[in-house]
Structure formats: C-alpha cells, structure tokens
Amino acid sequence: MPKRSVIVVGGGWAGLAAAVQCCELGLAVTLLETAPQLGGRARSLADGGLDNGQHILIGAYQETLRLMQRVGVSEAQAFLRQPLVLHYSDGPRLQLPAGWSPSLALLAGLLWAQHWPWRTRISLLRTALSWRLRGFQCPSDWTVQQLCQGMDSLAWSEFVAPLCVAALNTPADRASAQVFLRVLRDALLTVRGGSDLLLPKVSLADLLPNPATRWLQVQGAQLHTRTRVLALSRHAADKAWVAETSQGPFEADGLILACSSSEAAALLHTLCPQWGEECAALSFEPIVTVYLERPGAQLPAPMLALHEGPDAPAQFLFDLGQIGHKPGLFSAVVSGASGWMEDGLNHCAQAVVLQLHRQLGWPLDVRVVQSICEKRATFACTPQLQRPSGQPGPKGLAVAGDYIQGPYPATLEGAVRSGLSAARHLHAELST
C-alpha cells in the first residue's frame, strides 16, 4: 500500500506532537506554519533570545516529557527538577521532601511548614484529606473558591489561590474546581515526582521546536514556515484534502488542524459550522511576562512566590540566572491578567516594578528588558465549559490544540496529548 499522507496545520506543541506521532505511525507528513518559526505560544522570540513567556512543567506532564525524549531531549539537560516548593521572600511556606511518594511528601511538607501557624497547616491537611477521600471529584459547576469555602485564610491566599491561577490561568473565583482537582490528583497520585516543578534551563525553542524540527527532517517530513493556510477543501474524485496556502496548494489523504481555535473555526466554517460554534463559546485570559535585569541580584530560590493584590499584579518571580540563563535576568509572571491589561502593558509592567520595590526592596529604576502580553494565552478554564471535540466529523480530519476536550487546562501537556491523539485517530481512519 502506498504511504498515506497527512497535512498538519500549525506548528505549536500540539502540531509538533501530531507530526512526530504521524511519522512514527508511518504517515508522510507536511507541516504548514504561518509564523517564521515553530513553537506557537511556547516559542522563543526571534530577537534578544527571550521566550514568548515564562513556562514551567510539573512531573505529571508525562506525555510532554516522553515526546521530548523521543526527539532526543535529555530531561536532565533541559530542566531543573525540584520537589514542589513554595518560597516567599520571607521564607519557604511549603517544601516537599525529595524522593518520597507524592501523598506522603505532601503530608510531611505540611507538617514541617513552619512559616504557617498550626491552624493553617491543619486546615490544608484536612482539606487535602477530604479531596483524597472523595477521589478528587466535586460537582461540575463549582469554582475553586466554592471548593475551598471555610478554608483558613492564609492557606487560601498563600497556597490555593496562587496555585490555581498558576495552573489554570484563571482566578480562583472563576476557575473550574473539577479541572483544578484533576491536575492535583495527577500531580499527587499518578507518578513518583508528579508534583515536582520542572523549570526550563534552555530556551523554549530548544525544549521542543528545534529538536523536533531536526527529528522530523531526518524522518523525511516537509516543514514549511511562513505558510498560512487560507482555505480547505476536498477533491470530489479521490477525497484528498487540499489546503490553499499563501505559498500555493498542498494535498494529502488526511488533515490535522493544530492552529488556534478561532482559525480552526474559520477554516471549518462551511464544513462543520456547529463545531465552530463551540469554539466561539471559548473566552480567553492573557498572561503578562515582564523580563527584568538586575546584575548581581539573586533570589532565595529560582522561583519565588509574590503576594498578589490590588496594586501587586505578579504571582511569581523567576531568577533565570539560577536556572542556567543569563545571571541577573528575571521574569515576573502575571497570570489571569485581564484586569491589569485594561490600563495597558506599560502600566502593568510599572506596577510589577513597584510591587518588587515594596515586597523585595528592589530599586524603582530596575531595568525592564521587555514586557510581553499574550492576549489569548489560554482559554478561561471555567466550570462546565463545553470544549470542542477533536473529531469534528468529516473523515480524514482531526483537530488538535490545548483547547480541545480533555482533562487538563490549557497547558503544554494538554496540547501534546491532543496532538498525539489526533495523529492516532487519523492513522486508524486512514488504515481502514
């Protein structure tokens, strides 16, 4: 049988995962990406060597780690792996011991969390135990705030609320409790080290897009950047898919759409109008990353939690020098940043500088290297959200992306899982 062919539209992490999996399943792959580089939202910027935003992984993101390994990335070289630690400027709150099973580590970490009074530790222990006893399940319409009603206020403000906005990029009063519990369950119960933090020591480009490009080229895949897909159609005679692009038409037996939800909905407008309506129901949350330079400065930990508040936008500050990047380079992260962006990016960056001055005693004239706002960083992960299916209908078509139905919020792991499953689905269809 001649080799079946597939076009992958979009070279973000979902598209790259799909392309790698298709190659491994023996399909001939053509990947079309509109931008000059691969990586999508998790990409490195062309100028200045910075990333499009600070990213972290957790040990439970197994499919992403496996994919990276498949294309030749060594986890030890790519990441600083450390047990979950929540470090504020006045000391660590929670520090899980290394090498323990996650549940026992959490128990020990909470018992030893000396910066918290006993009532805070007991409140967190009681809450964690009740979630565990209920199998990390709750009513689908609950927010994280509802889930934590009655919790000690310090446990809430210094642990659950920052963890929620970091994991779901949605403030706890609007975030889905069910998805939050699913991430916690996987972090605590699936694999040893599932709750570990993995901080990238290399650029986002070297984490996956560059090694995946080399791997795909060796497999004979065709990669076209600066090639935007403008329209899709099918040949009446042989049912082949045709992608009209800015560089001319491409044809293949199957098609994986791994572009943004809005672009996928537009491309499938006539073929699957109802599927497009589900995409239209998604709303999005921005993330702001402010890169700062302060030569000679060092934080007490590579990742420092900050106190967020009405005049303090950032939840975390990363000391990139401690993670193998340029010494004296820092990134402050403002997740769930929609409120802050109402007054513009500059205003938000200046508020971060003021926050670092107040909370860490940094000088007000610290150099802001670059501020980046990704307006549609992730979908807002709210209760009972109906996410679009990865199989919108027509044969030989699958859709991938972090917004596709799945257990996770918009994350690299969600994107990679959807890419792998789109490739497997398409391979099965093309084999019959």
Ligand X SMILES: Cc1cc2nc3c(=O)[nH]c(=O)nc-3n(C[C@H](O)[C@H](O)[C@H](O)COP(=O)(O)OP(=O)(O)OC[C@H]3O[C@@H](n4cnc5c(N)ncnc54)[C@H](O)[C@@H]3O)c2cc1C
Q: Strands of 5-9's sheet, edge to edge?
A: 222-224, 28-32, 5-9, 254-257, 397-399
User: Residue 151 or residue 372: which is nearer to ligand X going by CB?
Assistant: 372
Give the whole-angstrom CA distance, residue 230 versus residue 232: 7
276 touches ligand X (CB under 6 A): no
208 touches ligand X (CB under 6 A): no
- Residue range at the interface with ligand X (CB under 6 A); choices 55-63, 213-221, 355-363, 423-431: 55-63
* Binds ligand X (CB under 6 A): choice among 20, 21, 55, 388: 55
- Residue range at the interface with ligand X (CB under 6 A); choices 10-18, 67-75, 91-99, 187-195: 10-18
* Binds ligand X (CB under 6 A): choice among 15, 59, 302, 313: 15
* Binds ligand X (CB under 6 A): choice among 5, 7, 8, 33: 33
Scanning 258-411, the segments in alpha helix (DSSP H) are 261-267, 273-280, 338-341, 345-360
Give the whole-angstrom CA distance, residue 290 versus residue 11: 25
Cβ–Cβ under 8 Å, residues 311 and 351? yes
412 touches ligand X (CB under 6 A): yes
293 touches ligand X (CB under 6 A): no
User: Residue 33 or residue 253: which is nearer to ligand X going by CB?
Assistant: 33
13 touches ligand X (CB under 6 A): yes
User: Residue 5 or residue 378: which is nearer to ligand X going by CB?
Assistant: 378
Spatial CB neighbours of 68, under 8 Å, sequence gap ≥ 6: 75, 78, 207, 208, 211
387 touches ligand X (CB under 6 A): no
Cβ–Cβ under 8 Å, residues 320 and 294? no
Give the whole-angstrom CA distance, residue 414 versus residue 422: 12
User: Residue 51 or residue 158: which is nearer to ligand X going by CB?
Assistant: 51
258 touches ligand X (CB under 6 A): yes
Looking at residue 119, the DSSP 8-state letter turns out to be H
Task: Pick the closest to residue 326 from 369, 373, 365 (CA basis).
Answer: 369
User: What is the nearest approach in angstroms of ligand X to the Cβ of residue 117?
Assistant: 31
User: What is the nearest approach in angstroms of ligand X to the Cβ of residue 14?
Assistant: 3
* Binds ligand X (CB under 6 A): choice among 5, 411, 420, 423: 411
Binding mask 348-377 for ligand X (x = CB under 6 A): --------------------------x--x
- Residue range at the interface with ligand X (CB under 6 A); choices 52-60, 118-126, 211-219, 233-241: 52-60
Give the whole-angstrom CA distance, residue 30 versus residue 307: 46
10 touches ligand X (CB under 6 A): yes
* Binds ligand X (CB under 6 A): choice among 7, 12, 158, 322: 12
User: Residue 278 or residue 402: which is nearer to ligand X going by CB?
Assistant: 402
User: Residue 6 or residue 57: which is nearer to ligand X going by CB?
Assistant: 57
- Residue range at the interface with ligand X (CB under 6 A); choices 78-86, 303-311, 339-347, 409-417: 409-417
Residue 90 buriedness (CB in 10 A; 0-12 / 13-18 / 19+): exposed
Cβ–Cβ under 8 Å, residues 187 and 196? no
402 touches ligand X (CB under 6 A): yes
As given in the structure block, the two tokens for residue 47 are 């100028």
78 touches ligand X (CB under 6 A): no
Max Cα distance, the chain (Å)? 72
241 touches ligand X (CB under 6 A): no
User: Residue 155 or residue 276: which is nearer to ligand X going by CB?
Assistant: 276
40 touches ligand X (CB under 6 A): yes
- The number of CA neighbours under 13 Å toward the Cβ of 117 is 4
Q: Count residues near ligand X (CB under 6 A).
A: 36
Q: Interhelix angle for 209-218 vs 13-24, to 10°?
A: 30
By CB under 6 A, the residues from 325 to 344 that bind ligand X are: none
Task: Pick the closest to residue 165 from 362, 329, 377 (CA basis).
Answer: 377
14 touches ligand X (CB under 6 A): yes
User: Residue 83 or residue 414: which is nearer to ligand X going by CB?
Assistant: 414
Give the whole-angstrom CA distance, residue 168 versus residue 185: 14
* C-alpha triplet 77, 82, 85: angle, nearest 5°: 150
- Residue range at the interface with ligand X (CB under 6 A); choices 4-12, 104-112, 156-164, 347-355: 4-12
User: Residue 127 or residue 390: which is nearer to ligand X going by CB?
Assistant: 390
Q: Are strands 254-257 and 5-9 parallel, antiparallel or unpaired?
A: parallel
Give the whole-angstrom CA distance, residue 214 versus residue 70: 12
Q: Give backbone dihedrals phi and psi of 264, rounded to 5 degrees, phi first.
A: -60, -45
Give the residues lining the site for ligand X (CB under 6 A): 9-15, 32-35, 40-42, 53, 55-57, 228-229, 258-260, 263, 287, 289, 374, 377-378, 401-402, 410-413, 415
